[in-house]
Amino acid sequence: MTTTNSIQVAAAEPVEPGQLLIDGQLTEAHSGRTFDVMYPGTGDRLTACAEGGPEDIEDAVAAARRAFLPWAKMKPSDRGRRLKCFADLIDQHSTRLAKLTTLEMGKPRRESETVDGPHTAMVFRYFGEWCNKVYGETCPVDPAYLNYTMKVPLGVVGAITAWNFPILTAAWKAAPALAMGNTVVLKPAEQSPLGAIELGKLALEADIPPGVFNVVPGFGPTAGAALSSHLGVDKLAFTGEHRTAQHILKASAGNLKKLSLECGGKSPHIIFDDADLNGAARSAFQGIFSNQGQVCNAGSRLFVHTSVHDEFMDKLIHRAKKLRLGDPMQRSTRSGPVVSATHRDKVNEYIRIGASEATIAFGADTDPLVDSPGYFVQPTIFTNVQNHMRIAREEIFGPVLSVIQFETEEQLIREANDTIFGLAAGVWTKDVSKAHRIAHAIDAGIIWVNCYDVYDMCSPFGGFKLSGIGKELGRHTLDLYTQTKSVWVHIGK
Ligand code: NAD
């Protein structure tokens, strides 16, 4: 078993400091304050970023309000053209944006170049196409009246995002919001503000008018809280922890903001005895170790049928042994650091808790620390886990897998659903009836059968229970960024 893992990481290239982007202008914060953005690969300071606070949020919301009517009243096809141009520009700058993502949050460049950069462009293109495809309806009322509905924008949308997919989660919110005629104030996560600022600059290049898309980096309790409680913000779209979502829910009460909340998970990934064990092992591996497990729908609770448990674990551990932590900027690296020193310490603490609760089948048997100044965590697999243990109940958000054995379908369903979360689940079986039965029985917003973590722009993404409120992506998300107006006209009989 691995106890230490020595990793060489090259120093990061210099990066321009980040500024606020309000009303089309790059500015410093009112307070003049800045905060450090760190490079997780080495643990060194990458650059500084202006620290937006309540006064800056005030300015950004005012700018977004001024920009709202002209944007909302623009011909939908014209809005769509600009959003698609924005998508093209993101594509042109995709490699640069991906590099920035790797530098600010540490995911391997291979992932940021294949997912974060190109998918961000795809999201803006997909929603750009929707601008002139949302219809109202006429209602079959008394013929003395004409009654019709219109889908109208909400106004100013506040978007608060997490650091694990910094530009992509920003796109998931900003793209449908802008497509439906809203304006946006984005507060990116403090760990990874730089890519979001670059998106804001590209939006201006795409002829999206100043004030339509504003970016205010800063901290949660100051900038985030000011945005959540601001009476001039009509809707808040959030990605992050459910405990933060609970704060936001309360802070939004003042003007009954519309809310969509994408929170965490402890998703069950289920391997039946009749499964394709090779495919399932590949999927279980990807499901917990991609992006160092910092994925909301990570398959972090692996339920394996007792009769195939040992054979399956051999296959999974065989794969895990090939995992090499490395320099995230090298395109050959599959596994990089986690986002911050604080997060590394949190994940390592869970590994220590797990070592006292269950059996380490892969990972660090004595000390989970990796020999590197960067924020690396030793990927770890625990077996003999019981569903009541902390490593099975709490979201670790790191490369830590809890393997639970099951014997009957009834036990499986009970335990898989015994969680505060309900984001996603995976099921591996060749029995089509069983696959559907389990898909129906699991309380989660997304179910993958004989696959895991597949997604598409046109398919709704979002969870049940404390995993959130509302669906992102697909046409379902348009409902989150519009409201229905009913117009009655007396025409006589
Ligand atoms: P977090 O909740 O700590 O922070 C998320 C955002 O909220 C940040 O921008 C932060 O500054 C802001 N924030 C913090 N306190 C705030 C407050 N009081 N008021 C307003 N804003 C505040 O989460 P995180 O650690 O950045 O991200 C990890 C979490 O995000 C995990 O739980 C993960 O599962 C979840 N996540 C969910 C999805 C999804 O789509 N369901 C996607 C990615 C991440």
pLDDT tens digit sequence for 31-89: 999 999 999 999 999 999 999 999 999 999 999 999 999 999 999 999 999 999 999 99
Q: Per-residue pLDDT averaged across 214-218, rounded?
A: 99
240 and 280 co-located in one domain: no
What are 260-318's pLDDT values in tens digits? 999 999 999 999 999 999 999 999 999 999 999 999 999 999 999 999 999 999 999 99
Specify the CATH number for the domain of residue 202.
3.40.605.10
Pocket flag, ligand 1, residue 175 (CB < 6 Å): no
In the structure encoding, which two tokens stand for residue 137, read together? Answer: 């309806």
User: Do 359 and 380 sit in the same domain of this protein?
Assistant: yes
Q: Is there a single domain that holds both residue 480 and residue 375?
A: no
Length of the chain: 493
- Are 246 and 364 contained in the same domain? no
Evaluate if residue 443 carries a pLDDT over 60: yes
In a domain, 492, yes or no: no
Judgement on whether residues 76 and 195 belong to the same structural domain of the protein: yes
Pocket test for ligand 1, best of 123, 190, 197, 241 (most atoms within 8 A of CB): 241
Residues 145, 491: Cα–Cα separation, whole Å: 5
285: CATH: 3.40.309.10
Whether residue 288 sits in one domain with residue 394: yes
Q: How confident is the model at residue 196 (pLDDT cuts 50, 70, 90)?
A: very high
Residue 111 included in any domain: yes
Q: Is the domain of 208 the same as that of 280?
A: no
Whether residues 139 and 233 share a domain: the answer is yes
Q: Whose CA is nearest to atom 26 of ligand 1?
A: 162
106 lines ligand 1 (CB under 6 A): no
**Residue 10 Cα to ligand 1 middle (Å):** 29
Is there a single domain that holds both residue 177 and residue 29?
Answer: yes
CA 489, chain centre distance (Å): 44
Q: Give domain status of residue 93, yes or no.
A: yes
**Same domain for 311 and 250?**
no
Host domain of residue 400: 268-456
Q: What is the pTM of this model?
A: 0.97
Domain assignment present for 461:
no
Q: In this structure, how many other beta carbons lie within 10 angstroms of the beta carbon of residue 360?
A: 19
Q: Does one domain contain both 36 and 167?
A: yes
36 and 164 share a domain?
Answer: yes
Q: Please tell me the residue having the least CA distance from ligand 1 atom 22.
A: 220
Q: To test the ligand 1 pocket, which listed residue (242, 296, 342, 461) has its Cβ within 8 A of the most ligand atoms?
A: 296
Asked, for residue 2, whether it belongs to a domain, the answer is no
Instruction: Look at the chain and report how many structural domains it folds into.
Output: 2
Taking the CA of residue 219 as reference, the ligand 1 atom at the shortest distance is 11
Is 446 part of a structural domain of the chain? yes
The answer to whether the CB of 154 falls within 8 A of the CB of 235 is yes
Q: Is 208 in the pocket of ligand 1 (CB under 6 A)?
A: no
